[in-house]
Amino acid sequence: MNIARSSVKLSVAHGGKAIITFGGIAFFANQLSPGELGVFFLFEALVGVLMIPADLGLRGAAEKRISEGDSPSEMLTTAVLLKALPLFVIVSGVLLFGSYINDYAGESVAVLLAVAIVGQELYQFGLQIVSAELRVGETAILRLAHKLIWFVVGYFFLASGFGVTGLIYGLLVGYAIPFVWAMIKRSTAFGRPSMEHVHSLTAYSRYNFVSAVSGYFYSWMDVLIIGWFLTSAHVGAYEVAWRVTGVVIIGSSAIAQTIFPQVSRWDAEEAIERIERIIPQAVTPSLIIAIPAFFGTLLFSREILTFVFDAEYATASLVLVVLMAEKILQAVHVITGRSLKATNHPELAARAAVVAITTNLILNVVLIQQYGLIGAAIATVVSFGINTAMCVNYLSRYLTVRIPWRELAWVVVSSVGMTLVLLGTESVAPVDSIFSLFGVIGFGAVVYAGFVLLSPSLRLKIAQSIRMVKSDGAAGEPVRGDD
């Protein structure tokens, strides 16, 4: 598998997804009130949290075991059978307590929620099976199709008078079509299940389940608690800020998804040196966008929310700054956390997750009541910082983790230089419209790139990455000058 090429494919797909999501939310924010849009975000939050017990970590376990190459067909069938029971229980519970769910969400969404949980599980399972076959790059189009279908179908239903429910219909169709496509693209056939494979999957999934809890709770716990203590309008404003920050970790997520099956295979082959070389190669690209994005948000958070969405969402401008700082931590965590699980230490990732979940829950309950939306953002940063630090520490016990401090220092210097240039620019040409906002963002990107390219090591790394994308060799092989 060419890791560089697959990472680029996924980055392009994630970039396309981000553009569609960003544009879609911006469009829908101008068609719906923050309260109405908040209902959709609460629906997504419920799907995200209920997916945890519906999956029990089995999707990640299936990807791990199939990627190892030992009895993949039997592993696939066993995983499907194991997943059926918890999924049935959760869906039945949603239908049984539908009236309470409808009251909480503010719309009659319980039946749609049950369908969405099944759809999301099938969609994610299909992607992870193809990824486990070391064909991660081929999932790029499926991920992009999911968001594109959501926007097109959602727009159609919204225009037809379905209101916020139309966005939910778009979500459901967006799950179904890529799942069918993934099943057609997979090469792993169904085999005969066995108790041996049950033990293998559950031994991994019980720890992967806890890590999954961390991921989904991290993504949705604050939204659910905001919806409980505050209003759906607050949910809408907070989640819009969150979606803006999601754009900056496109590359990080793509790299993490790409290297997981390859690191898993190298771990099975005891090729430890290869794993130790690929981690520092992944860290710099993960942070090269997140760091300048934080500095840019310090300057233009209110303008972004006002001109791209609506003035009503500008109340979350400080939230946007705090959450953008958190994305720097997330860019590191997606690499180290998945590497920890890929090297067959899900129990340590689970331990870090338990600490982070507990911290996040306590801080959200306390700080949201005390400080509102900014309290939720602070809770997220603190808890995720703890999770990231613990994962880095655990990984360093088994691998020599080399952090490219010199390169990262230059990225920070370049970001500060960009900020100073933009401050000077704004004093001459104030940002007073969406066109001037995008113009100054584009100018800032050019200035930042110019500063970055002044570093010989970063120029070399960028050139090597481009060559690896064009070649058929596997990225992640030794790169001269990295050590």
- Residue 427: is its pLDDT beyond 50? yes
Given the structure tokens 């690191």, which residue do they identify? 263
Q: Which residue has the higher pLDDT, 75 or 159?
A: 159
- In one-letter notation, the amino acid at residue 403 is I
Q: Which residue has the higher pLDDT, 20 or 464?
A: 20
Question: How far apart, in Å, are the Cα atoms of 178 and each of 45, 67, 118, 131, 304?
Answer: 21, 21, 14, 14, 32
The total number of structural domains in the chain stands at 1
User: Which tokens sit at 263?
Assistant: 């690191």
Determine the pLDDT at residue 247.
Answer: 75
**Residue 258 forms part of a structural domain:** yes
Q: Which residue has the higher pLDDT, 457 or 344?
A: 457
The answer to whether residues 190 and 77 touch, using CB atoms and an 8 Å cutoff, is yes
Task: Provide mean pLDDT across the span 376-394.
Answer: 90
User: Which tokens sit at 146?
Assistant: 């999911």
The C-alpha torsion from 45 through 46 and 48 to 52, rounded to 10°, is 140
pLDDT in tens, 263-293: 766 766 766 777 777 777 777 777 888 899 9
Task: Provide mean pLDDT across the span 52-56.
Answer: 81
Question: Which ranges of 32-109 does DSSP label H, i.e. alpha helix?
Answer: 34-55, 58-67, 72-96, 98-105
pLDDT in tens, 316-369: 899 999 999 998 988 888 878 777 777 777 778 778 888 888 898 999 999 999
pTM of the complete model beyond 0.75: no
Determine the pLDDT at residue 106.
Answer: 81
- Residue 204: is its pLDDT beyond 50? yes
C-alpha to C-alpha distance for 417 and 283, rounded to whole angstroms: 22
On average, the pLDDT of the chain sits at: 81
What does the DSSP 8-state code read for residue 106?
T
Listed ranges 12-16, 80-84, 218-222; the one with the highest mean pLDDT = 80-84
Task: Provide mean pLDDT across the span 301-319.
Answer: 87
C-alpha to C-alpha distance for 2 and 466, rounded to whole angstroms: 12
**Residue 199 forms part of a structural domain:** yes
Given the structure tokens 């040409």, which residue do they identify? 429
User: Which tokens sit at 239?
Assistant: 């989640």
Q: What is the percent of the chain where pLDDT is above 70?
A: 83
C-alpha to C-alpha distance for 465 and 461, rounded to whole angstroms: 6
Determine the pLDDT at residue 322.
Answer: 94
What does the DSSP 8-state code read for residue 193?
-
Determine the pLDDT at residue 470.
Answer: 47
CA atoms within 13 A on the CB side of 143: 25
Of 358-367, 445-454, 468-477, minimum mean pLDDT range: 468-477
Question: Predicted confidence band at 216 (pLDDT cuts at 50, 70, 90)?
Answer: low
**Residue 476 forms part of a structural domain:** no
For 118, counting Cβ atoms within 10 Å of its Cβ (0-12 exposed, 13-18 middle, 19+ buried), the class is middle
User: Which residues, including other chains, have CB under 8 Å from residue 70's CB and lie 6 or more apart?
Assistant: none
Determine the pLDDT at residue 29.
Answer: 83
* Enclosing domain of residue 112: 3-403
User: Which residues, including other chains, have CB under 8 Å from residue 380's CB and lie 6 or more apart?
Assistant: 218, 222, 322, 323, 326, 360, 364
Of 4-18, 115-129, 223-237, minimum mean pLDDT range: 4-18
Determine the pLDDT at residue 477.
Answer: 35
The answer to whether residues 71 and 188 touch, using CB atoms and an 8 Å cutoff, is no
Dihedral sign of CA atoms 285, 286, 292, 297 in order: positive
**Residue 461 forms part of a structural domain:** no
Question: Which ranges of 316-472 does DSSP label H, i.e. alpha helix?
Answer: 317-342, 346-371, 373-398, 405-428, 434-452, 456-470
**Residue 177 forms part of a structural domain:** yes
Question: Predicted confidence band at 474 (pLDDT cuts at 50, 70, 90)?
Answer: very low
Determine the pLDDT at residue 473.
Answer: 41
**Residue 435 forms part of a structural domain:** no
Determine the pLDDT at residue 264.
Answer: 66
Determine the pLDDT at residue 153.
Answer: 93
Q: What is the percent of the chain where pLDDT is above 90?
A: 23
Of residues 64, 74, 18, the one with CA closest to residue 244: 18
**Residue 470 forms part of a structural domain:** no
Q: Which residue has the higher pLDDT, 166 or 332?
A: 166
**Residue 427 forms part of a structural domain:** no
